[in-house]
Structure 1
Amino acid sequence: MAQMEREHLSVVMFPWLAHGHVTPYLELARRLTSANDADIDVTVHLVSTPVNLSAIARHQTPRIRFAELHLPAAPDLPPELHTTKHLPARLMPALKRACDLAAPRFGALLDEIRPDLLLFDFLYPWAPLEAAARGVPAAHLSTFSAAATSFVVHCLGRGRREGCAFPFRGVGFGSAEEEAKYMAQYILREELPDALVPERNRLLLSLARSSAFVAVKTCADVERPYMDYLSELVGGNKEMVPVGPLLVDADAAAAAAGGGTSSESESDRVMRWLDAQTPASVVLVCFGSEYFMSEQQLARMARGLELSGERFVWVVRFPRETEEGDEAARALPRGFAPAPGRGLVVEGWAPQRRILAHPACGAFLSHCGWSSVLESLAAGVPIVALPLHIDQPLDANLATELGAAVRVQQERFGEFRAEDVARAVRRAMRGEESHALRRRAAELREVVARNDADDAQVAALVQRMARLCGKGQQRVAVPN
């Protein structure tokens, strides 16, 4: 009896140099290489800087291989800062410029690997050009919500030309004028004179240069209207392909965040503390892996948690080095020391998904980064939304529109009062509104779990990539 010869698909993945980008790319790599496709075996080559790859070294397998991209030397940017982790904010433009200057080196990696396909992040709109010069098709893999991406593309195009507001009022800001102000403050920052790629063009060029489809880290059952609108905005001939929420288990998240033995012992301490609490009685407080609060923000947050009267686990982060003009806090407010049974402060990293899944966790006070929103929905935990910058206000609006979040009142994003933090936390934890939030969060938990477990999405992505490369269309029978 003859059997069909299996084809091989070699994919280069090129995520931005941030934990929140590398992790979902790596998770998709894991799923692609373990997909039960009857005809196609996938091998992934994940490209990043040595400092990023060293943090995830244990995830390299025979079918997930790492390729180092060495950035050009720069006086203020040593190799240990070729990552956004611990990168001073003033050096972010320098890191982007170094990546743009590394385009020829990336091309040389493509010559060496000779992949069938490239999956690239939006900060590298030049990457698909390097691939095209070698006859390699490329597709953009977005780690942002379709709601936030479609909002930005709308404001850069149709909204600016026609003066119209984003059509999904629950996610937007109500008027074209307010949305233009938001874009100017958080998205369209001042360009450096030596910038190789204008910031406003990175996303638009990446979408335009994506071949045939754009892969999106999302749940189609949650974001279908925004995916459809994004497809319309980019010309209507480019499909938005959901690849699921790409939820990562706690161990993999710890490795990607650089956690080790100390993180494991701290994790055990947190879980033991939660075990002693009653169900739905604790608020998890965390504002992402790369945001440092100012002294004023930290003091107001501490006071807000005290005023709320609720138990909490607060994950705080402090910068590694002090810089002149840097407003980031270096320590908790003087005198802030919650009673052992009232609150737990964790410095650095904590097992966010494990905490959210614990029965004691009743709400999540979050900046609303997209991964955090998805993890909270996956756990069925309501969100207390306190967005701070970039796309977070849009994801906070989406979570609220879905009925799974309450907002902390803010005059400006990044600013808040202690009293408003306390009020929003109490709304999420007490009374009839909290019951409604939990019912809706429980419904969304089923939706997200179904999407995350849907192997058909990954199988469909494999088939789309294969067709883009001219594979998977003809089969050769070989004898057993």
Structure 2
Amino acid sequence: MAQAERECMRVVMFPWLAHGHINPYLELAKRLVAASPDDHLDVVVHLVSTPANLAPLAHHQTDRIRLVELHLPALPGLPPALHTTKGLPAHLMPALKRACDLAAPRFGALLDQLCPDIVVYDFLQPWAPLEAAARGVPAVHFNTFSAAAKAFVVHCLKNERTPTAFPFETISLGGADEDAKYTARLISRDDGTALIPERDRLPLSLERSSGFVAIKTCADIERKYVDYLSQLVGKEVVPTGPLLVDSSGSEAKRDGGRIMRWLDGKEPGSVVLVSFGSEYFMSDRQMAQMARGLELSRVPYLWVVRFPNAEDDARGAARSMPRGFKPARGLVVEGWAPQWRILSHRSCGAFLTHCGWSSVLESMAAGVPMVALPLHIDQPLNANLAVELGAAAARVKQERFGEFKAEDVARAVRSAVNGRERVAARRRARELREVVARNNGDDRQIATLLQRMARLCGKGQAVPN
């Protein structure tokens, strides 16, 4: 019997212009490409972004994962080097979104050149599925936030005129009115120049997704939130798994030796890793309170700090460590640090984190309890989810998000690393590690996504259900 002829499915992926979005898209691309040979279907992915974002990713390009440049229109004060959120001053974010929206015809021209079978797009570009539809191409929204956070925002937007309580009390920020107020702040960042109102981007992206929505999460952890999101949008929501990035090879080539040697000299479970993501910059006051709090905790700490490159930053970000600060109990690392290797080190006993979704997943994957200090966007919702799951051993008290005191930092860190609750917290962290590892290694989730995508574009009829 003749062997079934292999088909090719050409996929265009278009994440938002931030590495926190691009990295999950790239990892999903790798897994789709790796999954396809057994299914009589070869997948070729074209990952679209700006030159500023693609330059550091050049080594990921293969014959089946291709990086495609999208050149944004020129706008005053927004040179091509700033066509990325990395190092972008806060006041230029509306300009970046506007430039991206103005690039819709150029994206359409790329689709004409690439002739994809399907487009996978991010929520900030709700016009991408329209460009695809104009060419008879289906398009699917891939969400890189937690299902709990996404369901929360969609729920609040749907009930905007008459706020109703989010049906999961553990995720709520204090009842219907508080939830509505927080969501309103999230969508009120327009400066009057936006081509698409901020509040419309997510609903339109979900509405225009062809048939289903994909989401970066573990089904075993967020099943009820996946189901509720599906109910809200009236479409199937397909989990991809946590899409953990195996970056050990690239990290080994970078200067992490000093950090690992420092960790090697510490007792097992004695160190708290402190990091607030690659694109959040603390104010002078926040830096001062954090520095004092870490010293007051009397716990060894590894603090990863970042400062903006831009000369002008409307957020009032700190430019240096607090005057006179000398870390007596910790190691301060500026810029990059091998987060996964640190979390996996035997001396790492807790992770003081902003609760960005990727950091929450990495912490659970490493089996390290979190100390939650959410600052903005989806982070408070992720922090609530981490507490619900038992993944957070402690939470730093805040008057408002971003307003914390040194004494509360110290109290939360001590509790997580040396408190009576640490034994139960570490036991629960080990349980969650097994769950996340199982989901990350479950090829069936990617196979399901691949099957849904193939069905949309009439490819891979041999792909099993």
Does residue 301 of structure 2 align to residue 312 of structure 1?
A: yes
Asked if the contact 2:216–2:239 (Cα under 8 Å) also holds between the matched residues in 1, the reply is: yes
SS at match of 1:3: coil
Does residue 248 of structure 2 align to residue 248 of structure 1?
A: no
Report the equivalent of 2:207. 208
CA displacement at 1:432 relative to structure 2: 2.3
Change (3 A) 1:460 1:325: closer
**Alpha-carbon distance in structure 2 between the residues aligned to 1:377 and 1:321:** 34
Report the equivalent of 1:273. 262
SS at match of 1:4: coil
Report the equivalent of 1:17. 17
Which amino acid letter does the alignment assign opposite residue 376 of structure 1?
Answer: S
Asked if the contact 1:49–1:83 (Cα under 8 Å) also holds between the matched residues in 2, the reply is: yes
CA displacement at 1:322 relative to structure 2: 2.8
Report the equivalent of 2:53. 52
**Uncovered stretches (5+) of structure 2, i.e. residues with no partner:** none
Does residue 290 of structure 2 align to residue 301 of structure 1?
A: yes
Does residue 321 of structure 2 align to residue 332 of structure 1?
A: yes
Asked if the contact 1:23–1:253 (Cα under 8 Å) also holds between the matched residues in 2, the reply is: no
Report the equivalent of 2:373. 386
Change (3 A) 1:251 1:103: farther
Does residue 20 of structure 2 align to residue 31 of structure 1?
A: no
CA displacement at 1:168 relative to structure 2: 0.6
Correspondence 1:18-97 to 2 at 5 A: 18-35=18-35, 36-97=37-98
Q: Which moved more, 1:360-369 or 1:455-464?
A: 455-464
Name the % identity. 69
Q: Which moved more, 1:207-216 or 1:175-184?
A: 175-184
CA displacement at 1:31 relative to structure 2: 0.8
CA displacement at 1:192 relative to structure 2: 2.3
Report the equivalent of 1:233. 232
Asked if the contact 2:187–2:199 (Cα under 8 Å) also holds between the matched residues in 1, the reply is: yes
**Uncovered stretches (5+) of structure 1, i.e. residues with no partner:** 255-259, 476-480
Q: Which moved more, 1:355-364 or 1:29-38?
A: 29-38
TM-score w.r.t. structure 2 length?
0.97
SS at match of 2:420: helix
**Alpha-carbon distance in structure 2 between the residues aligned to 1:470 and 1:181:** 44
Q: Residue by residue, what CA displacement relative to the aligned partner does 1:257-309 show, whole Å, maximum 9, x if unpaired? A: xxx96xx12x1111111111110000000000000000000000000000100
CA displacement at 1:161 relative to structure 2: 4.3
Report the equivalent of 1:5. 5
SS at match of 1:67: strand
CA displacement at 1:251 relative to structure 2: 4.6
Q: How many residues align?
A: 461
Asked if the contact 1:37–1:459 (Cα under 8 Å) also holds between the matched residues in 2, the reply is: no
Report the equivalent of 2:102. 101
4+ residue runs over 4 A deviation: 251-254
Q: Which moved more, 1:363-372 or 1:342-351?
A: 342-351
Pairing partner for 1:454 from 430, 442, 459: 442
**Alpha-carbon distance in structure 2 between the residues aligned to 1:302 and 1:253:** 30
SS at match of 2:355: coil
CA displacement at 1:324 relative to structure 2: 6.5
Please give the root-mean-square deviation of Cα atoms over the aligned residues, in Å. Answer: 1.4
Report the equivalent of 2:405. 417
Q: Residue by residue, what CA displacement relative to the aligned partner does 1:444-480 show, whole Å, maximum 9, x if unpaired? A: 00000000011111111111110000112269xxxxx
Report the equivalent of 1:359. 346
Report the equivalent of 1:257. none
Report the equivalent of 1:438. 426
SS at match of 1:99: helix
CA displacement at 1:252 relative to structure 2: 7.2
SS at match of 1:215: strand
Asked if the contact 2:230–2:236 (Cα under 8 Å) also holds between the matched residues in 1, the reply is: yes
**Alpha-carbon distance in structure 2 between the residues aligned to 1:279 and 1:250:** 23
Does residue 344 of structure 2 align to residue 345 of structure 1?
A: no
Which amino acid letter does the alignment assign opposite residue 171 of structure 2?
Answer: V
Report the equivalent of 1:478. none
SS at match of 1:432: coil
**Alpha-carbon distance in structure 2 between the residues aligned to 1:65 and 1:293:** 36
Q: Residue by residue, what CA displacement relative to the aligned partner does 1:21-65 show, whole Å, maximum 9, x if unpaired? A: 000100111111111433111000000001100010000000000
